Chains A and B, each alone.
Chain A
Amino acid sequence: MLQSIHDKAKGILGIIIVAFLALVFGLWGIGDYLTGATEKFVAKVDGVEITQSQFDQGLARQRQRMEQMFQGKIPDSPIMQQRMKEQVVEQLIIQQVMQKMVTDEGYRIADVVLAQKIKNMKAFQQDGAFDNNSYHAIVQSQGMGVKEFENLFRNDLAVQQLQDAVTRSSIIGQSELNILNQIQQQSRDINYLQIDDISFLSDINVNDDQVKEYFELNGARYKHPEMVSISYVELTTDDMAKNIPVDEEAVRQLYDDYVASLSSKEQRKARHILVALATDADADIQEQKKALADDLLIRINKGESFESLAKEHSEDPGSASSGGELGWVSKGMMVPAFEAALFKLEKGQVSDVVKSNFGYHIIRFDDAKLEKTITYDDKKVDLVKQYKSQLLEDGFYEKSELMATTAYESDQSLQEVADALGLTIKTSEAFSRVQGKGIATNDKVRNAAFNPEVISEGRNSDVIEVSKNHVVVLRVDSHTEASLKSLEEVKHLIESAIRIEKAREKSMALALEALSKLEQGESIENDSIQVSAKLVKLGSVKRDDTSANKQILTEAFTMTKPVADKPVYKVVEVSGGTAVIELKSVTMPAQATTAQLEILARQFQNEQANRDMEVVLGYLKSQSDIARSEEL
């Protein structure tokens, strides 16, 4: 071993090896070799794992967004859940791809720019200015360090640079717009014959053999749905509230708090006279000023007008001219010394000379505004509610926990759950997967009842959160599998199905007959063609015409254009019948003006920008080696 090092490490090669090792450890450290990854991952982008916990966080955020979007009612079907999960994984993959792009392609946000953007974020501002404490607090509340947040944000900003450049520089050529304009603005001259099924319905007789044959072929379509009925125990805060004894003393305390809170909201109307004093004034001047204020107070007490003395002598530029009037003052608005003095006064009373850091004040309390105090008896109902809800918050959570453990531990019956919580067992009517009454109107309850473990193993369900204040545990009492309906039960349904089918066959036959006559050159206006049909002359219409039948319009605008004034025909099925469309001609719009093209360009700007970004993103993704985990 040593010999081989000896041989190889000789000369220039030795230098290279050592230099290389120094470089490797210097640049990357040895940390990477010591940490072993053990966590599960949901995807891998170029060897970088997106971990289960990243995914869980992403999913929680997505759920929150959806809840806001649907106002608390997320569609809870398993398909939606799966789609949401896939979306979250896709987002995380894109995030990782973009992070790699930022590094590989050498994007970088300058420190000053980063700082500026952070300072401009509303979330970190207080009274319109950036607040460093809120910044740290908010970032940490997201479970991140400031450094980590800044790195993430820096990365986002770099991605934004690419996105801005791609989307804002999107263009659409005038020739392309012209093509779109010709499609959008062209008009087509259309007539059609409408043949309604309904006119044949009464002529159609259905016999039992037909019904039987139809039933043999299509009987599987008619089923009684799978049904269950359940027993359940439900816990609501409303029920709990009834059982909480009211502690009169605690309610009294709440009332006192309420009264105290009122006085803190009191506003007082006041005047003052200020003898201003600089904070760094020396003792002599202080004394002089104090004497001046004392003198003023004596004159007021002797009966001179407060208002005119304020006008003459007050050194508060804001209030002197209005006789010292300060308007309505509530607690917290004034310097503490002033506030303390003002709120000690009786109405109409004048204060002693009060010193604040502005100087010496003489204050008069003119008027008070107080929110009306509600009497204890009138307030009591509210207070009891408040008292109970405080207790309930904790109690409800504890009880639901107890419910969950009891239901899990003795999972073959609900009796223990009911006993443990002092609740009664209720039962439901039978319901299907998609529809139910009472407690089964809630789809979470229905989903839980049809859960395989609950339905076939006869276990208690998990605790189901019907709403924030309402939880349920259930078990299945009886279960009926879906079953085919008997011929008797569906006879009338089948009869009408056959009737509709036959009627459609008739109208289709008539339509095809008309088509062949039209294609031989007969006019659509001929009576011989309009057998059991109604001729509708749409005339010249555009594709977004709202007065015309939408199905007809869509079909007519996908028809091959007529050549050399020879109309083109097409038979189509529409709701309630069949139609034969005659497309007589297509008129292209005049060459679009520059103004029109500009309007179109604006109309397509967003769409084009999105497509450009989609393509770029697709390319960047294709440059990464992405592996998704099978199970989510």
Chain B
Amino acid sequence: MDYETEEQQLEAIKRWWKENSNMVITGIAIGVASIFGWQYYQVEQAKHTEQASILYEQVLVNSADTLKINDQMASVNQLEAEFKDTPYASLSALIIAKQQITAGEIDKAQQQYRWVIENANQSELKYLAKIRLSRLLLTNKQQDQALSLLNETYPESFNGMVLELKGDVFSIQGNKIEARKAYLEAISLSKSSSRWLQLKIDDIGNISADSNLETGSEPSA
């Protein structure tokens, strides 16, 4: 709708202001409060993250020392309990898992990987943990569990690694045809040349379906 004169317009503005001034002022107040609130939140969040970051650096420094595994565990527990919202909890879990594997504590390492899979907000760490868990399962002769973990969907960049591992599982199960298929697919995805993957393919040789039955004579891992 149009206003006929400027006075009328002015009138309209005044009226609007009379009716809404409280609201506008409240709005500005809330806006200003949110800015300060947000900044306060950010500062607190930064402090929280820095604390986690420092704890993680400690875990990293002691990562090669198997004797310190108990101290390490305390830090990792704290990170997982209080700093789950930072990437440092998962990073530390991955590191302690390796340390546990070196110390022969395979079950505990599995728990760490499972923790990352369930709790990490960073997908790349989650998928990395899945692959590493499947490596442990394979070592534990739990080939079916390893395979079902590897059969889940992974982002593209993980596929080469997943397929090679699948090939390893099939190979250990004596299924040379599936192994070869997986290896060949893996090598077609890999950007850099992988000498060992090629050797795995060469070693199986160009077998056809009927020769698969005969491979039982080799000593298996």
**A residues whose Cβ falls under 8 Å from a Cβ of B:** 2-3, 6, 9-12, 14-23, 26-27, 105-113, 161-162, 164-166, 168-176, 178-180, 182-183, 186, 543, 557-561, 563-564, 588, 590-591, 607, 611-612, 614-622
Contact = CB atoms under 8 A, between A and B. Distances in A.
Nearest to B137: A173
Given A10-B20, A171-B101, A560 B31 contact: no
Given A22-B28, A169-B94, A611 B161 contact: yes
Contacts of B86: 106
State which size class the interface on B falls in: 35 or more
Given A106-B87, A107-B53, A558-B205, A171 B98 contact: yes
A168 B221 contact: no
A15 B199 CA distance: 69
A172 B132 CA distance: 8
B57 interface: yes
A18 B31 contact: yes
12 contacts: A19-B34, A22-B28, A23-B34, A113-B54, A166-B94, A168-B98, A169-B63, A563-B214, A614-B192, A615-B128, A619-B157, A622-B157
Chain B contact residues, majority secondary structure: helix
A110 B38 CA distance: 20
Contacts of A176: 135, 138, 165, 168
Contacts of A109: 50, 53
A618 B135 contact: no
Contacts of B63: 168-169
Chain A contact residues, majority secondary structure: helix
B71 interface: no
Contact of A161 (B91, B136, B206): B91
A433 B49 CA distance: 60
B141 to A, nearest CB: 8
Contacts of A6: 12, 16
A438 to B, nearest CB: 41
A108 B46 contact: yes
B186 to A, nearest CB: 12
Interface in B77-134: 85-88, 91-92, 94-95, 97-98, 101, 121-124, 127-128, 132
Contacts of A10: 19-20
A563 B212 CA distance: 11
Contacts of A110: 50-51, 53-54
Contacts of B202: 557-558
B87 A107 contact: yes
B215 to A, nearest CB: 8
B49 A108 contact: yes
Contacts of B56: 161, 165
Given A11-B23, A21-B31, A171-B135, A2 B211 contact: no
Nearest to A5: B16
Contact of B27 (A15, A179, A183, A616): A15
B30 interface: yes
Interface string B12-28: 11001001100110111
B212 to A, nearest CB: 11
Contacts of A22: 27-28, 31-32, 34-35
B139 interface: yes
- List 9 tightest A-B contacts by C-beta distance, closest first: A22-B31, A618-B157, A560-B205, A18-B27, A178-B221, A173-B135, A165-B91, A110-B50, A15-B27
A190 to B, nearest CB: 15
Interface in B37-87: 38, 46, 49-51, 53-54, 56-57, 60, 63, 85-87
B53 A17 contact: no
Given A113-B53, A620-B124, A14 B20 contact: yes
B218 A179 contact: no
A505 B94 CA distance: 60
A459 B128 CA distance: 59
Contacts of A17: 27
A26 B31 contact: yes
B219 A588 contact: yes
A162 B87 contact: yes
Contacts of B3: 2
Given A165-B60, A171-B132, A15 B30 contact: yes
B155 A619 contact: yes
Given A19-B27, A106-B86, A107-B53, 11 more contacts: A2-B3, A15-B30, A21-B31, A22-B34, A106-B87, A107-B49, A110-B50, A161-B60, A165-B56, A169-B95, A560-B206
Contacts of B136: 171, 173
Contacts of A170: 98
Contact of B128 (A19, A105, A178, A612): A612
